[in-house]
Structure 1
Amino acid sequence: MNKKLLAGAGLAFTLLFSPLSQAFAAETTGDLRKVDNVAHRGASAYAPENTIAAFDKAVEMKAD
């Protein structure tokens, strides 16, 4: 095995599993991020695609 590859893999695993990365991750738990639920063709499984009925059904199903 190549020594550079082995050293790189060791460094990557050290950074991945270090307690320092866990400390920084704990600080951001208070932030909430909203994910947009987009139905760009409407609820096409329930009505024909790109129709008013499909978009009305998507809004009814809580699409943004």
Structure 2
Amino acid sequence: MTVTSPRKTEAEARAAVAAMEPIMAIEGRQMSDRDKNLLADLIRGVITVEDVAAVIVCEEGYDID
């Protein structure tokens, strides 16, 4: 995992994720707690898009190197 210095605080990132929830609800979608955490970490800059992709791929049962 590549860690960079945070771009946003934890509170700012969580607020951004929370702001998406009503929009997603209108579209009939929900975000799991795991996805909320991943998105908040991505917004904060503590993980990369590649890290998120690796988590998702591994959870689906694929092995990537």
* TM superposition score category, shorter chain reference: under 0.3
> Which structure shows the bigger proportion of residues in helix conformation?
2
Structure showing greater Rg: 1
Q: Which has the higher contact order (CA 8 A, sep 6+)?
A: 2
For normalisation by structure 2, the TM-score amounts to 0.25
For normalisation by structure 1, the TM-score amounts to 0.25
